[in-house]
Structure 1
């Protein structure tokens, strides 16, 4: 008697089948470069996809902000000011999707234009910190000895201070708060992180086979550092830069919230908008809700993407 059609089930894979599949996967992975293998794992990682989507939307809105925003950030509209009261701030209405802020300006336009300021501060602060950290870490890892000792002790002192407290202390030294002081303060906070990470990577590269071979062939130390050690040690630093972008955005928003950022009311910035909204929480909580959500989402996007990139580039995670 034959079985009904469709009742036959596929044979479960045996131990030999699983071993053969594993050998095929290893052979396929061995033929790919580390970059191609990392990109393949990123595409299959849901966390990386979510982070990339958030970061991509944020960057796209920031770049196109002057064309997306329907109004100027500093323009106050009479139709919004007429309905402003000490106990009432107008909400959404035709032409103003998020309503008015406390001064009768288009809140939706200010939210969009503020994304450009946030991206500018975060990217510039991260780049400055990355460059300074790479210089310090490369000098410490390449020369060693008293150079390494002095630079790393200074780095340890900076790392012992909480990052936000250090940023506040640096920003408070400025005679007048501005966007430049925020960028410098946030950048200096990230310098010891990059320096320590690069120094450790270069120390690991110092004992590698290709560096020992170059040294035995009489290659100059400068060429060994710049051509062999530094390029191979930059991978973890680049990944850390993605994570530091999230921290830089949070620190910059915190400095603006505390009044240590750019105080120009005509320039929209999420941290400053969040600080100004504290006096109107009982009148219109949305003035604080939207900037806070934007800061959280952007920081979350960079964090998810950075963590996924770190896992993808980890040699121990290759399958």
Structure 2
């Protein structure tokens, strides 16, 4: 090859290469910013978080108080609709329905965040134990943990959550959180375990093992940090699922028994279905809110999964 051709190839390579290279995270951020699906999902999630955080400012009335303007014509067969000062009308007890809907976002966000975080923490612990350690002990640990997760995954998630809540004498908000968290544990555990098995035989791990680095340090410094990315993305998808599952438990009457605490699933089940023929808006608004929020987290999670996939890099 002549010197002229070599210089031409070098100039071509220099013109197509980005200075300093681009990390996977930075490249993923760029693709997310150009992805309309990710933008729509992020906007929905951001609006949901803002409404929940600013509920005392946004809500026009106290969500627990009963108002004379609403109770004046309130009967079993007549629930007042929209009127001056109360855009969404009344609930069956004469409380401002719009304020309860706004405050319900706080409870929905709280249940979703805590349930997802709890399930993620337990799933990471189990997945790390199953996929990090080689040898006979690691094999038996992996076998035992994975068989337990197989049994949990064999049952429909909602049925498993209902079973867990039903065995509790007095259901509460925390029983719903724990039930939803346990349902999602095997998903996180299996995903992390598979990712860690792939990382366990990678070159940098073998090099660290050859240098005499202890197994615990290899797991915490090399294997786990490079394996947890897909699990975090899955947590975004699971958040939407957790909201739906928590709402389903409240809809079935297995959630928080406190009727003063507004929560979308409870509003849909306790008030919405009971008075569906009298005032269907009591069921429509919470249902629409749950669907939109779950859709937002699903869109954002799917976009993040595609953006972080190295196969999609160009």
Residue 217 (str. 1) matches residue 238 (str. 2): no
Partner of 1:314: 309
Distance in 1 (CA, whole Å) between partners of 2:42 and 2:121 is 24
Q: Any conservation in 2 of the 1:74–1:265 contact (CA below 8 Å)?
A: no
Q: Pick one of 166, 176, 200 that aligns with 2:170.
A: 176
Q: CA deviation at 1:86?
A: 2.6
Q: Any conservation in 2 of the 1:138–1:199 contact (CA below 8 Å)?
A: yes
Q: Any conservation in 2 of the 1:134–1:194 contact (CA below 8 Å)?
A: yes
Q: Pick one of 278, 295, 309 that aligns with 1:300.
A: 295
Q: Pick one of 68, 75, 93 that aligns with 2:83.
A: 93
Partner of 1:4: none
Q: Pick one of 126, 138, 142 that aligns with 1:136.
A: 126
Partner of 2:247: 253
Partner of 1:102: 92
The TM-score normalised by the length of structure 1 is 0.91
Partner of 1:49: 39
- Aligned residue for 2:132, secondary structure, equals helix
Partner of 1:162: 156
- Aligned residue for 1:246, secondary structure, equals helix
Q: CA deviation at 1:174?
A: 1.0
Gaps of 5+ in 1: 1-21
Distance in 1 (CA, whole Å) between partners of 2:14 and 2:158 is 49
Partner of 2:222: 228
Partner of 1:196: 190
Q: Deviations over 1:211-264 (max 9, x none)?
A: 000011110000000000000000000000000000100000000000000011
Count, aligned residues: 298
What is the aligned-residue RMSD (CA, Å)?
1.4
Distance in 1 (CA, whole Å) between partners of 2:92 and 2:115 is 30
Residue 291 (str. 1) matches residue 286 (str. 2): yes
- Aligned residue for 1:280, secondary structure, equals coil
Q: Any conservation in 2 of the 1:133–1:195 contact (CA below 8 Å)?
A: yes
Compared CA separation, residues 28 and 185, structure 1 to 2 (3 A):
same
Q: Pick one of 113, 121, 136 that aligns with 1:123.
A: 113
Compared CA separation, residues 77 and 25, structure 1 to 2 (3 A):
farther
Partner of 2:21: 31
Partner of 1:208: 202
Q: Deviations over 1:83-102 (max 9, x none)?
A: 11332211111111101011
Which is worse superposed, 129-138 or 75-84? 75-84
Distance in 1 (CA, whole Å) between partners of 2:240 and 2:76 is 36
Q: CA deviation at 1:23?
A: 6.7
Partner of 2:6: none
Q: Any conservation in 2 of the 1:29–1:37 contact (CA below 8 Å)?
A: no
